[in-house]
Amino acid sequence: MPVACPPLELLIAAPRGFCAGVDRAIRIVELAIAKHGAPVFVRHEIVHNAHVVDALRAKGAVFVEELDEVPDGAPVVFSAHGVPKAVPAEARRRGLDWLDATCPLVGKVHRQAERLAEAGRHILFVGHAGHPEVIGTLGQLAPGAMTLVETVADAEAVAPADPAALAFLTQTTLSVDDTAQVVATLRRRFPSIEGPRGEDICYATSNRQAAVKAIAARCDALLVIGAPNSSNSVRLVEVAEREGTRARLVQSAADLDWDWLAGVATLGLTAGASAPELLVRGVRDALALRYAVHETEVETSRETIAFKLPRALEAAA
């Protein structure tokens, strides 16, 4: 007689997966290809997900890291993470046909940086060194106008020239809890520091972290679908672990470690903001080959935000 599959309670977090900024960025590349024909060049991965990048590559996108890899006259799209001001300036100088797929919430941080600098404030920017969003935001102002602060220890050690003329901004994909500690340290040390208008950490990052918190305590383990270079996905693993649940990042069902899952009766599942839903379904289907899966979606909030496309693509849409 066939051996019965062990039962598995699968708790799927909602919201999860694509956010409005990622949807918009992918659509911009697709519409650019429809408008111009292949190839359309994209500076950096449009979003941090290999499946998305490979799918767009198959449609005619060519991914490069710098503008000097883009031939004269070719169309180019800037990634959702944002770029330093020098990049569109160079594109204009060369006469390239360019589109900016920067997430509007990242763009909002860029505009706040300009406003604060014009008001004479030095900006302490909370973020992760080397991340494209951080590089893009720091590149909105002249060198030295912002100081990067990554940790509470950095916040304790930073020594600005004029403590009375400070402001802070943050990367949009950080841990809500970690960032709150860094900001609290800055506010304690510099009581007159000016904060952003509203929250810089984007709604999608906050919502996905809250959804993980809602299921983590009920799970023996939790899987996050996302890329290793996806900041918001890595933060979801950290959130689950902080809640006391062992967690692991996987890019797709191919990464499932069955030994790691041994003995798990209740498994949590979510996806970072740049991971498509089909990868979630793929993991669920792979689990169903080995377990008798009982699936429950746990919804903590509902997202209805959508962002407009660039005017240059409205007709193509």
Q: Please, what is the Cα angle at 306 between 302 and 311, to 5 degrees?
A: 180
Note if the bond before 191 is cis, omega within 30 degrees.
no
Note if the bond before 15 is cis, omega within 30 degrees.
yes
Q: Please check whether residue 91 is in contact with residue 115, taking contact to mean a CB–CB distance below 8 angstroms.
A: no
Residue with token string 């860029």: 110
**Gyration radius (Cα) of the chain, Å:** 21
Structure token digits, residue 275: 């991971």
In whole angstroms, give the CA distance from residue 116 to residue 167.
7
Q: How far is CA 307 from CA 18, 34, 238, in A?
A: 13, 20, 29
Amino acid residing at 35: K
In whole angstroms, give the CA distance from residue 170 to residue 134.
9
In whole angstroms, give the CA distance from residue 49 to residue 35.
24
Q: Which residues are catalytic?
A: 133
Q: Which residues pair with 41 in a beta bridge?
A: 62, 76
State the DSSP H helix or E strand holding residue 181, giving kind and residue range, or none if neither: helix 176-189
